[in-house]
Amino acid sequence: DIVMTQSPDSLAVSLGERATINCKSSQGVFHSSSNKNHLTWYQQKPGQPPKLLIYWASTRESGVPDRFSGSGSGTDFTLTISSLQAEDVAVYYCQQYYTTPYTFGQGTKLEIK
């Protein structure tokens, strides 16, 4: 199985400041047939299912604010929130869909400083 490791486990950022979450996969998730990185970022708020934010490592889902961006390739990926808003408080997960079993990172809890 591909192991997904996120850092940090928790993060406190001031409103309006940048938040950066990292995700590392135990093997590359770039698929040559699609020429894409098979990596997704989710946001999860209490009592809700995960919400798709970013797919193909850097493509923003429709309706997701442009302060959210994804980057990286191969085994190392980053989710960046350029200017933290109060509604961004949540747990964020990365997930690979390069191969089954699909696997998730352990989550990063983002709070307001």
Q: Give the footprint of other proteins on this chain (CB under 8 A).
A: 1, 38, 40, 48-50, 52, 55, 61, 93, 95, 97, 100-104, 106-107
For other proteins, give the closer residue by CB, 75 or 95: 95
CB of 79 to other proteins, least distance (A): 16
CB of 78 to other proteins, least distance (A): 19
H helix or E strand, kind and range, residue 104: strand 103-104
CB of 29 to other proteins, least distance (A): 11
For other proteins, give the closer residue by CB, 16 or 101: 101
For other proteins, give the closer residue by CB, 69 or 103: 103
CB of 73 to other proteins, least distance (A): 17
